Amino acid sequence: MASKGVTALSVSVQTGSGYIVIDAEKCKGCNLCLHACPKGVIGPAAGINRMGYTPAEVIPGKEGECTGCTVCAIMCPDTAVAVYRHDRVLSHSTL
């Protein structure tokens, strides 16, 4: 069966307090991060990577729900997930 390729990186666009980048070529499709994410942000990609695994990716439409909690990255045995948090301006004043 012919398989559709996947892009090398799955990037969630920032709208929440964090976002993740999954390296699809490092991912072995174990699904640990899918089940660990408390927000249900991660799902399986539609295609396979060069190793023949179905990698994890950020589910389209869920990008803004990532809190940056890092659970997915901690769970990943292949260090395929990077988590980024947004800096927040807690106060601002002008003189």
Among residues 6, 42, 45, 59, the one that binds ligand SF4 under rule CB under 6 A: 42
Exactly one of 27, 45, 49, 59 binds ligand SF4 (CB under 6 A); that residue is: 27
Q: Alpha helix locations (H) across the chain?
A: 32-36, 71-75
21 near 84, Cβ under 8 Å? yes
Using CB under 6 A as the binding rule, whether residue 28 contacts ligand SF4 is answered as yes
Q: Contact region for ligand SF4 (CB under 6 A) — 1-9, 62-70, 86-94?
A: 62-70
Among 11, 25, 31, 43, the residue binding ligand SF4 under the rule CB under 6 A is 31
Beta bridge partners of 85: 18
Q: Is 82 in the site for ligand SF4 (CB under 6 A)?
A: no
Q: Tell me how far, at minimum, the Cβ of 74 lies from ligand SF4, in Å.
A: 8
The residues pairing with 23 across neighbouring beta strands, listed in sequence order, are 9
15 φ, ψ to 5°?
-145, -15
d(CA 91, CA 81): 31
User: Which residue, 79 or 93, is less far from ligand SF4 as judged by CB?
Assistant: 79
